[in-house]
Chain A
């Protein structure tokens, strides 16, 4: 590509008005350099997945966007505003919420305290009643200690608590891991419903069929870089290629 076409491509990206624009994102854990220039876009109202092998850098990308790495470089623009030098709490207040891979349920808080911990940052979040309707298990066990829930229930809690905040941009790191199929379907329906309401979602997902059922586009992450993008409608045509990327 010549400089001119690169420019044109970039202007093209900007004119499509991406909500999140990640450019040349690098990230470190201490001395170890893990992200080597991640590039991707997410548009308003899209559901985009990050796919890749174990250790590819998907979780690290999510953490870097949220401001949870000690050291990061490059550019992460949210609605046009650069966030690379902001602290996590300021990024959160721009309307981004995270469901971390390790779930992050607090042992010293009850289920209900866990649920209401993230403050409401904007209007339009789900009410507690609606959340309990979606996840009846949480209602039943709302007085229990957060970490006394089963793994699947903790996963539900980790998703449920960010739906309350009114944040419209969600970073979900393997939200279906360890959940029974019926709950996975329910989360799939929840994500589709959120998408209809205008939520924008970045999803890290191992469950391939699940990803295909909810996402618009898929980015492939390999060794700390985005190496490919596959639109969901082209998934079947590219299935061989994808299997090669994921080593399945």
Chain B
């Protein structure tokens, strides 16, 4: 059938795989944005820079202390998340009573400063980060060759996304989070420490970005601009899915990655813009996003 369309299955599967990999990053990053936006009402423009810091964290751990990929996968998000917590406590928390726009401007400014600092010290050419030995090589699936590391990225992203979804939608901690998203004053009046919850949520969202950064380090070169390039697409994903919807962010992230991959097969010229075209259409038909509610 694919031959009928003039496209060899290897090409199609190869692009689908790339789409799924990109979709994994879109999903994890837009999930973090959605979690942060839901509770903090802040559009975290520093998300791309924090993703980049996650990748650099892994690189620094390896090159300055000899700590390898697996510990870095945990340590780097914790360190970057802690930096996020410091930012939230000292700066972002001052803006909650103001319009979204102020939070966006502040985090955008922070992103530029962070990226500038990394460019200054590490240049823009990109630093190599090797695939961990356990995940080198690949599997011949018959119809295509699957590099192990790419398979791992997809599995890890799916697990993290659905783990986060489960925590928010199905656990007691998550019920606090959902309630505080709806009516923080009343949740506070029940004796719950909402400001601390907000701080930890920001730290968690930032940690997710850094986790994606560590996953990305062996695939893309570790580069101060790696987040700036990606985050624009991720914002489009969030707009399409609907700001603040957890499952929406996850499904839209994976789905758009795949659509982008398919476009590369069937209409390569359109692959760079297809997500933005979809965003424009969604904005016209359902401005609150595919999974957003009209509130």
Contact = CB atoms under 8 A, between A and B. Distances in A.
Partners in one complex: yes
A89 B189 CA distance: 5
Nearest to B193: A89
Interface SS, B side: helix
Given A89-B192, A116-B172, A165-B190, A106 B185 contact: no
A98 B182 contact: no
A198 B172 CA distance: 30
Interface in A94-122: 97-98, 100, 104, 106-109, 113, 116-119, 121
Interface SS, A side: loop
Nearest to B189: A88
B247 to A, nearest CB: 12
A13 interface: no
B190 A108 contact: no
Nearest to A113: B175
Contact of B183 (A93, A98, A106, A113): A106
Contacts of B190: 89, 92, 97, 117-119, 165
Contact of A106 (B172, B178, B191, B192): B178
B221 to A, nearest CB: 41
A113 B280 CA distance: 38
A87 interface: yes
A218 B187 CA distance: 29
B194 A89 contact: yes
Contact of B179 (A98, A108, A121): A108
A27 interface: no
B93 to A, nearest CB: 14
Contacts of A64: none
5 contacts: A89-B189, A89-B191, A93-B191, A119-B190, A119-B192
B278 interface: no
Contact of B191 (A104, A113, A116, A121): A121
Q: Bin chain A's interface residue count.
A: 20 to 34
Q: Lowest 6 CB-CB distances: which A-B pairs, in order?
A: A92-B191, A118-B190, A108-B178, A88-B189, A113-B175, A88-B188
A148 to B, nearest CB: 15
A67 interface: yes
A67 B183 CA distance: 15
A138 interface: no
A175 to B, nearest CB: 16
B30 to A, nearest CB: 19
A157 B193 CA distance: 22
A78 interface: no
A235 interface: no
A34 interface: no
B108 interface: no
B178 A92 contact: no
Given A92-B189, A113-B175, 14 more contacts: A68-B185, A88-B188, A93-B191, A98-B189, A100-B186, A104-B183, A104-B186, A106-B182, A108-B178, A108-B181, A108-B182, A113-B172, A116-B175, A118-B190
A118 B175 CA distance: 11
Nearest to B293: A107
A1 to B, nearest CB: 36
A104 B182 CA distance: 10
A114 to B, nearest CB: 8
B102 interface: no
Interface in B146-193: 172, 175-176, 178-179, 181-183, 185-193
A153 to B, nearest CB: 18
A85 B69 CA distance: 49
B176 A118 contact: no
Contacts of A106: 178-179, 182-183
Nearest to A110: B175
Residue in B179, B182, B185, B190 with the greatest tally of chain A CB atoms within 10 Å: B190
A7 to B, nearest CB: 35
A25 interface: no
A116 B176 CA distance: 10
B223 to A, nearest CB: 39
Contacts of A116: 172, 175
Contacts of A66: 189
A89 B181 CA distance: 16
Contact of A117 (B187, B193, B194): B187
Contacts of A87: 188
Contacts of B186: 100, 104
A84 B79 CA distance: 39
A119 B182 CA distance: 17
A22 B100 CA distance: 38
Interface string B184-215: 01111111111000000000000000000000
A160 to B, nearest CB: 13
Interface string B3-14: 000000000000
A109 B185 CA distance: 16
